Amino acid sequence: MIDHAIAALADYGVRTGLIEPADRVWAVNRLLEVMGLSDYQEPAEPVREMALEDILRELLDDAAARGVIEDNITSRDLFDTKLMGVLTPRPSQVQARFHSLYAESPWMATEWYYRFSQDTDYIRRYRIAKDVKWVTPTAYGDLDITINLSKPEKDPRAIAAAKAAPQSGYPKCQLCRENEGYAGRMNHPARQNHRIIPVTIDGRDWFLQYSPYVYYNEHCIVFNSCHTPMKIERATFRKLLDFVKLFPHYFVGSNADLPIVGGSILSHDHFQGGHYTFAMEKAPVERAVRFPGFEDVEAHVRDPSTERA
């Protein structure tokens, strides 16, 4: 029975292009190793196509029943990520694919990378599907509302405490590049299925990744290769503009470097972007700002409430 689930997961890898048909026997053997199994019988009949969530549940139930893992949500999340890590190509392969698509168009590159980040289960599609989203008209204009049910929000006091706490551990935080391929632990998520894309921002090495919790379409994070605190300053504008030059079909924005107003990881310099048009972008211009000497630059202060007048 469990052989069916292993075959189904290997087939999922081939079907989604994570592995090639030539990798299938190798992948089955690697999955057996992670499952702590040494025997296998390839199913005689082709295995029926199953949803990834169902395949992983079967494998997790089996591993828990045999005592390979403890039966709790954290252990299960660590373990199914280890399984998916078997199917995930190496960083150099992922970067090469991204760059060859980028040479054709940045749009094609991000489209592929977003699908890839879901196929590897780094973005857990079946959890994101539980989020509730809608647009509602208000006196201030249309508002986007999202109720995030796939990840609990952090307490602002916990965020402030984390910023003040001394740097320790490995990786230093959940945004650090050292998360790529990391096995995780009870208080840090597993990332064997996580791959990041190098980009140059303000002349420095940065990386692009998607948020595992996608609050809106193609919710991406662009982050510094160094674990350095967030700071809103003159260079912030150069960094933001460098990003939209690389990905003109994306927007990018920054949380404030203050704990109460949204940023959840202030110890690591990063921005958030994506393929989405927010209400703010559609809001009427309240005031245009001009910069003497830079007449070709337009800046706007937008205020949805001016529509009421």
**Nearer to Zn ion (CB atom), residue 7 or residue 176:** 176
Only one of the segments 44-52, 65-73, 168-176, 275-283 lies at the binding site for Zn ion (rule: CB under 5 A); that segment is 168-176
Whole-angstrom Cα distance, residue 219 to residue 251?
Answer: 10
**Nearer to Zn ion (CB atom), residue 149 or residue 183:** 183
**Nearer to Zn ion (CB atom), residue 109 or residue 201:** 201
The alpha carbon torsion through 33, 34, 36, 37 (nearest 10 deg) reads -50
**Nearer to Zn ion (CB atom), residue 127 or residue 172:** 172
Binding positions for Zn ion, 23-82, rule CB under 5 A: none
Compute the least distance from the CB of residue 175 to Zn ion, in Å.
5
Only one of the segments 91-99, 115-123, 169-177, 228-236 lies at the binding site for Zn ion (rule: CB under 5 A); that segment is 169-177
The residue from 4, 24, 57, 172 that contacts Zn ion (CB under 5 A) is: 172
Compute the least distance from the CB of residue 269 to Zn ion, in Å.
9
**Nearer to Zn ion (CB atom), residue 124 or residue 268:** 268
Compute the least distance from the CB of residue 213 to Zn ion, in Å.
17
Binding positions for Zn ion, 199-258, rule CB under 5 A: 227
Only one of the segments 172-180, 231-239, 242-250, 285-293 lies at the binding site for Zn ion (rule: CB under 5 A); that segment is 172-180
Only one of the segments 131-139, 171-179, 233-241, 284-292 lies at the binding site for Zn ion (rule: CB under 5 A); that segment is 171-179
Compute the least distance from the CB of residue 177 to Zn ion, in Å.
8
Compute the least distance from the CB of residue 243 to Zn ion, in Å.
18
**Nearer to Zn ion (CB atom), residue 36 or residue 229:** 229
Look at the alpha carbons of 113, 118, 124, 125 in this order and tell me if their dihedral is positive or negative. positive
The residue from 6, 69, 176, 197 that contacts Zn ion (CB under 5 A) is: 176
Compute the least distance from the CB of residue 120 to Zn ion, in Å.
21
At which residue do the structure tokens 């958030």 appear? 272
Whole-angstrom Cα distance, residue 178 to residue 251?
Answer: 26
173 binds Zn ion (CB under 5 A): yes
Binding positions for Zn ion, 256-275, rule CB under 5 A: 268
Residues that bind Zn ion (CB under 5 A): 172-173, 175-176, 227, 268
